[in-house]
């Protein structure tokens, strides 16, 4: 699974003119699912999202995680993260998971995030979403977990 995480002071998702989720300080994570991904990959991604040290300490060093700061987590499904862009001028989505698998693993990730963290919001799988954010830093990291062989 792919998680493009951004440290934010605020972020929100709107669908059809209605805000469906919003957070204050925390992480906005765009989530991509690939065909070989599993629940174990989702578990590893969630663990990394909650424990990845991207928030500053008193000295300005990235020593605090979302788990220690208690900030919000906003998960947004984005199948385009798994696109193959190695050839031509148009992305191929053959490297993205089929919609059924993508939806199942995104919902699995969101459900487990809600049980492990106090403030979790989500975008809507398959919807045309508008995502707004204020990226702090800017701080953006690409995290990818792979199924165990």
pLDDT for res 62: 97
Q: How far is CA 122 from CA 24, 75, 107, 126, in A?
A: 14, 5, 9, 12
The pTM (predicted TM-score) of the whole model is 0.95
**What pLDDT digit, counting tens, does each position of 57-96 carry?**
999 999 999 999 999 999 999 999 999 999 999 999 989 9
Task: Please confirm, yes or no, whether 34 is among the known catalytic residues.
Answer: no
Cα distance between residue 59 and residue 125, in whole Å? 39
Asked if CATH classification 3.50.80.10 holds for the domain at 2-144, the reply, yes or no, is yes
**Which of 55, 79, 106, 125 does the annotation list as catalytic?**
79
- List the catalytic residue out of 6, 34, 78, 122: 78
Please list the alpha-helical segments (H only) found in the chain.
39-51, 66-69, 99-116
| 80 catalytically annotated | yes
pLDDT for residue 149 = 47
- Each residue of 85-119: pLDDT tens digit? 999 999 999 899 999 999 999 999 999 999 999 99
d(CA 32, CA 83): 9
């Amino acid at each position: 699974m792919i998680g493009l995480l951004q440290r934010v002071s605020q972020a929100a998702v709107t669908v059809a003119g209605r805000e469906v989720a919003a957070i204050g300080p925390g992480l906005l994570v765009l989530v991509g699912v690939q065909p070989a991904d599993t629940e174990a990959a989702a578990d590893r991604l969630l663990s990394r999202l909650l424990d990845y040290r991207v928030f500053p300490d008193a000295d300005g060093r990235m020593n605090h995680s979302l788990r220690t700061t208690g900030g919000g987590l906003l998960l947004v499904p984005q199948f385009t993260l798994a696109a193959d862009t190695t050839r031509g001028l148009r992305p191929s989505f053959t490297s993205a998971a089929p919609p059924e698998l993508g939806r199942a693993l995104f919902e699995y990730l969101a459900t487990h995030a809600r049980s492990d963290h106090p403030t979790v919001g989500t975008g809507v799988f398959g919807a045309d979403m508008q995502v707004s954010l204020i990226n702090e830093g800017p701080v953006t990291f690409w995290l990818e977990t792979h199924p165990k062989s």
